Chains A and B, each alone.
Chain A
Amino acid sequence: MTSRKLELFVGFFVALAIAALLLLAMKVANTGVAGSDQSYQLLAKFENIGGLKVRSPVKVGGVVVGRVASIQLDPESFQPVVTLDINSSYNNFPETSSLAILTSGLLGEQYIGLQPGFVDENVEILKNGDYIEDTKSAIVLEELIGQFLFNRGNQ
């Protein structure tokens, strides 16, 4: 076999492998938030985060606008502090917006639902590092059952 033909086959082989890597990187794995890695951070305190994890999505009306960057415990109030990476193209949420930890489907994974609030002259737009004050905790099944039994007992 001539050297030229040999190199042609090897080149074809390597090109195929690069195409496979591209397929895996672009189509199979999630690379960052919706194509752009420009993001800003918002913080929020919750009572209970349930099963929320780092990299869980942040959704507005079902559209993913960001991801959970980190989860820490506030050392003084012992409340979980969640840091959110929000895509920079969505930079006009008012400070009256609220967050809730929701579950997709009955057994699905948990995500943060962002509900944009009203806007008027006194309401500022959320910037990098701002806290979202209005938060709703995750629903814990055991607490729900406990409440239900408690109510039944009262009747």
Chain B
Amino acid sequence: MLKQIQQLGANTLGTLQGLGRATLMLFGALWGRPRPLKNWHLYMKQIYVVGVLSLLIILVSGLFIGMVLALQGYTVLAKFGAEQMLGPLVALSLLRELGPVVTALLFAGRAGSALTAEIGLMKATEQLSSMEMMAVDPLRRVIAPRFWAGVISMPLLALIFNAVGILGGHLVGVDWLGVDAGGYWSAMQANVDFQQDVVNGVIKSIVFAFIVTVIALHKGFDAVPTSEGISQATTQTVVTASLAVLGFDFVLTAVMFGG
């Protein structure tokens, strides 16, 4: 009994220490004047690795999720003779929930795990220490560009995901199942509000981008510098980031759309 309570205490302390180290890492990376012009090529390289290379998986999954939503929604809506509500159904589910959340999950799997493995290996092969030996701050040089690249790229990816998903819904709903094209768009325009739905979805994806990127960077920076440690850190990144995204999604949804 006492042992279990001790275990609980140890776990709590470990989590708190992890949070503290993550905050310190972020502070060290972002403290002081950011110099994006001097390190322009570093930022570009990371946006390319994190954002552009994730584009394909985002495009394909966005298209298919939009198509599946239209197909499933149509069978239910057709029973009530409300096929013209297919547009709002697809658009609202994508903009409010699926766009930000699925993008964040894919981003954690595609880019987050790569970030963790890369930084973990840098640590294991003592590249980070040798940078410090050369009086180059690894937090500013390695962590900061990756952080900004993640925070900038993911909301853009979520926007692309939404747009492609809505076009995918159009493909199935209008071109295949025969919903009226004008009805698809006009019902969507009547029911989707820019402020309420589009902007709130973007805010969600910015929050998720922050969470996923910080978790990925922290797990890599904090990894045990062995091959086993790096593999564990990579797994932890995907699991922790996915759970954190889902948890925060509920909180954000309750705040934005619950009232």
A interface residues, Cβ below 8 angstroms from B: 1, 3, 6-7, 9-10, 12-14, 16-17, 19-21, 23-25, 27-31, 55, 57, 107
For residue A25, which residue of chain B has the nearest CB? B194
B48: chain A residues at CB < 8 Å are 1, 6, 9-10
Which residues from 45 to 104 on chain B have a C-beta closer than 8 Å to any C-beta of chain A? 45, 47-48, 51-52, 55, 82, 91, 95
A14: chain B residues at CB < 8 Å are 156
Instruction: From known contacts A17-B156, A23-B163, A24-B95, infer whether A30 and B194 are also in contact, taking CB-CB under 8 Å.
Output: yes
Shortest distance in angstroms between B33's beta carbon and chain A's nearest beta carbon? Answer: 23
Q: Are B162 and A20 interface neighbours, CB within 8 A?
A: yes
For residue B164, which residue of chain A has the nearest CB? A20
For residue B55, which residue of chain A has the nearest CB? A13
A28: chain B residues at CB < 8 Å are 91, 95, 166, 188-189, 192, 198
The distance in angstroms between the C-alpha atoms of A107 and B44, with both chains bound, is 52
Provide the main secondary structure of the chain B interface. Answer: helix
The distance in angstroms between the C-alpha atoms of A42 and B255, with both chains bound, is 33
For residue B201, which residue of chain A has the nearest CB? A24
27 pairs of residues in contact across A and B, judged by CB atoms under 8 Å = A1-B48, A3-B44, A9-B48, A9-B52, A10-B47, A10-B51, A13-B55, A13-B153, A14-B156, A16-B160, A17-B159, A20-B159, A20-B164, A21-B159, A24-B95, A24-B159, A24-B166, A25-B194, A27-B189, A28-B91, A28-B188, A28-B192, A28-B198, A29-B193, A30-B192, A30-B193, A107-B82
Q: Are B194 and A13 interface neighbours, CB within 8 A?
A: no
B185 at the interface (CB under 8 A from A): yes
A29: chain B residues at CB < 8 Å are 189, 192-194, 197-198
Tally the A-B contacts, defined by beta carbons under 8 Å: 72
B interface residues, Cβ below 8 angstroms from A: 41, 44-45, 47-48, 51-52, 55, 82, 91, 95, 153, 156-157, 159-160, 162-164, 166, 185, 188-190, 192-194, 197-198
For residue B80, which residue of chain A has the nearest CB? A107
Instruction: From known contacts A28-B189, A29-B197, infer whether A13 and B44 are also in contact, taking CB-CB under 8 Å.
Output: no
Question: Which 3 A-B residue pairs are closest in the complex by CB-CB distance?
Answer: A17-B156, A20-B163, A29-B194
The distance in angstroms between the C-alpha atoms of A13 and B48, with both chains bound, is 9
A21: chain B residues at CB < 8 Å are 159
A19: chain B residues at CB < 8 Å are 163
